[in-house]
Amino acid sequence: MTDLDEALERFQARSFEYAGGLSNHGPMAAEALLQLGHPALIGGFVDLYEPRLPPAESGTPLCSDERAAAVGHADRLGDWRATFERELEADTWQAVLRRELPALVEGLFAAGTHGLLRLAHAVRGIEAKETTPRRLELAFGLAYWAGSYQRLPGLPGRHPLADRGPAEVLARSTGLLTQVTGFLLDDRVRALDGEPRFAAEVEALDPSGLEFEKFLGELCREAARLYLAKPQARIAALHALTAPSALRLIADHLDEATRKRAACFALQAAAALHAITASEGPVTIVPEVEALAESEDEIRYRAASSMQEHAIKFCEAALREHSIAPDPVFRLAAADAAIHL
């Protein structure tokens, strides 16, 4: 059993959330540490992170006629986990993903995008090696997404304007609501329900001719730039990159139409995160960040040894995007996170 499997077993004995609704980032960060090239630090991270988490919720599998009413109800997370455990016992994990994901993509903001994120890390883990803990982690990821399912205002592409792509939608959405109350991201974005400008920007997206990989690349690149331009909102801003980038990890289990829909809803989620935070300011790179950005190995080490879950996950995602379509903005954003988170 690898360190990742041992970490997953320990985190699966714990709740989906803690401290009034904060997501359990443990399984995601442990898998990201493996990707960063520092598996030896997984055990130490688990020892540090696990004590904050309450015990896991118990649950009973949902009947087919109960499922619709349980979508988006976090008090049924234990039941959702038991439901997907049963499905994964009866079918291949690939078949379960193909069957379940199309219905989930519109609620991609689930738990501040952490439903998608937990599932994406689980998928990458089981694709590398199929083990019992990695198979069970798929049930946790699907359950978190289904139980926390959250739609945002506007239907992407309903009223498209020519050449309104992901960068333009993000830029035009940012800073729409700067006086937002609430602590959790999924609570804060509810302020957008009464903001018609946000829905209008999302619906103006032009998805004609959408190329999945190119679309995500543009979205992630603009999200990295905005992360650097909003140092006062790093936590919200980083999820505008990690969520769309996570779609790459599950893309092989989506048909073409669902991939395109998912990309549009990922943009909607990223736009929401920037709509509830202040408008961007000038990008100022401090010398320490600039120096660290020169070495990917140092970024990986600095992020991994920080033991900070957001730094670990964001740096891994930003460097992943850089490996796909190199751009200095990804290394700068990763270096900033490794230092400042």
Q: Please give the full DSSP string across 189-201, using - where no structure is assigned.
A: GGGGGG-HHHHHH
Whether residue 202 contacts residue 261, with contact meaning beta carbons closer than 8 Å, is answered with no
128: CB partners within 8 A, 6+ apart? none
Tell me how many degrees the CA angle 110-245-184 measures, rounded to the nearest 5. 30
Residues 6+ apart with CB under 8 A from 41: 33, 304, 305, 307
At 136-171, the pLDDT tens digits run 999 999 999 999 999 999 999 999 998 899 999 999
* Residue 23 host element (H or E): strand 22-23
User: How much is the pLDDT for 2?
Assistant: 67
14: three-class secondary structure by DSSP = strand
pTM (global) more than 0.85:
yes
**Exposed, middle or buried by CB within 10 Å (0-12, 13-18, 19+), for 1?**
exposed
Distance of CA 22 to the CA centre of its chain: 14
Q: What residues of the chain score a pLDDT lower than 70? A: 1-2
